[in-house]
Amino acid sequence: MKPGVLKGTRDFLPNQVLKRKYLFNTIEAAFQLYGYLPIETPAMEKLETLAGNYGEDGDRLLFKVLNNGDYLAKADAKDLANKNSKKITHSISKRAMRYDLTVPFTRYVVMHQNDIQFPFKRYQIQPVWRADRPQKGRYQEFYQCDVDVVGSKSLIYEAELVKMYDYVFRKLNLKVLIRINNRKILYGIAEYCGCTNLFDEFTVILDKIDKIGINGVTKELVNIGINENSVDKILECITIKPENCTTGDCIDCGYENSNKVIEQFGEKLGNEMCKVFCLKGKFTEENCSKGLLGIEELELVFKYLYLSYNIENDFEFSLSLARGLNYYTGCIFEVKALNAEMGSIGGGGRYDNLTEKFGGKNLSGIGISFGAERIFDVMEELELFNQIDISLNSKIIFLSMNQECQESAFLTCNYLRIKGVACEIYPEPLKMKKQMKYANERGFQYVGIVGEEERINSKIMLKDMISGEQKMVTGDELIEILK
């Protein structure tokens, strides 16, 4: 039988695992620094828990697990005869593979609400499975890294999560742009322009502005049946360019008090905030109270971000950001890698009703996700791993001239391990050339050779594989060198 893996799934070689570990550990360390706690949920959930959460498309992409035993026994004979796959599924499968971490998390929060404290800050780094058509960069099994806080509406978390993005990508040495918007503002625009009935469609089109341009957006808005007058008003909103307040000197739009903090961030952010306030100028309590609320929320989030003087990555208010998932109800985020051709490598936002399916009372939450697989690919592309010592490889392997020498090498090997120094021993006293070849291929930095002379004197001939230098050392000297 020819060995192979399923399409869309991957084996990882040691070097890849080590890089992935470095990535996950960096992300996890940030989660812990910010006080988030780890949870884990099962890979398989009840099908009824997962089904119905991801839209029709998502449901089709769920991997369903066949019931065990004589699973056809209870299946409807007529549906079987008609080969009605859709109808049969629920009678032959009660399990499905985790499709994301969000739904299991909301299930978890409701189920364990008496064992956890709210606000509940959790992170979760686990694989998910999707029956998507495999292609470059898209897998059927991949990791998600989610961090959420549930049980508080405080906007301080919006700022905290943006800061966490900044922190992680700084640690990874990856320059990014963090885009920020608020779904309430988008709803405000829809309200102002009189097209709330087509809100979701409107946001989906808006989200494509970078790809299809302002003309493309106009065309698609008309196509879905938004009238000309509304389209004009939409365009007026989304093309706001506050050119007359480039220095953060935004007295006109009521931002005077924040001038000082804005200064720290320079023109760009001043402009971003002005843009929000220009928009605010269009809205009134009557034509879009929700939009005004969204702007106020964003104002406070930016204030917290200004207070966090240590953000190094770019972040901006981005009116066209919509996020595909319509369960977001407030601030939304998206992260793009600069200097690399790649879609979003992170995203998230605030949601208010996610726990309702499981009977969770009105629990507001907010979370972000790190697109670990894509981040990994970008880091490979930019050769960022080359700058990091990811190796867990032991640095030395012992080679021996004969059986007695090997016993002596084995003793030294034991001694090093007791002292906490990782090391290996070549398993047989074969020809030195063959042992050396293995040491070379494995990439050891040193070899420790034990011949008769070394054995008799309880020493090791230490060879530096890069410089070629050799010297005779004791076990303790060896430990000093390797530590």
Min dist. Cβ of residue 426 to a copy of itself (A): 8
Subset of residues 276 to 305 that bind a copy of itself, contact rule: CB under 8 A: 304
DSSP state, 66?
P
Q: Are strands 120-129 and 37-38 parallel, antiparallel or unpaired?
A: parallel
Closest CA to 153 of 326, 350, 299: 350
Residue number, 199 or 438, with CB nearest to a copy of itself: 438
In angstroms, the Cα distances linking 412 to 132, 208, 230, 418, 467 are: 52, 64, 80, 10, 23
Subset of residues 333 to 372 that bind a copy of itself, contact rule: CB under 8 A: 357-359
- Residue 243 neighbours by CB under 8 Å, 6+ apart: none
Applying CB under 8 A, the span of 34-42, 189-197, 276-284, 315-323 interacting with a copy of itself comes to 34-42
Here the tokens at position 96 are: 């499905």
Applying CB under 8 A, the span of 154-162, 189-197, 289-297, 453-461 interacting with a copy of itself comes to 154-162
Subset of residues 112 to 151 that bind a copy of itself, contact rule: CB under 8 A: 112, 115-117, 119, 121-122, 127, 129, 131, 140-141, 149
Subset of residues 59 to 118 that bind a copy of itself, contact rule: CB under 8 A: 60-61, 63-66, 68-73, 75, 77, 80-81, 83-85, 88-89, 92-95, 97, 107-108, 110-112, 115-117
Min dist. Cβ of residue 101 to a copy of itself (A): 12
- Pair 99, 339: CB distance under 8 Å: no
Applying CB under 8 A, among 310, 386, 387, 467 the residue interacting with a copy of itself is 310
Applying CB under 8 A, among 211, 243, 257, 418 the residue interacting with a copy of itself is 418
Closest CA to 336 of 108, 202, 177, 129: 177
3-state secondary structure of 266: helix
Q: How far is residue 240's CA from residue 235's CA, in Å, rounded to a whole number?
A: 9
Contact between 380 and a copy of itself by CB under 8 A: the answer reads: no
Q: How far is residue 316's CA from residue 274's CA, in Å, rounded to a whole number?
A: 12
Min dist. Cβ of residue 121 to a copy of itself (A): 7
Contact between 260 and a copy of itself by CB under 8 A: the answer reads: no
Contact between 461 and a copy of itself by CB under 8 A: the answer reads: no
Min dist. Cβ of residue 231 to a copy of itself (A): 39
- Element containing residue 91 per DSSP (H, E): helix 85-92
- Pair 51, 96: CB distance under 8 Å: yes
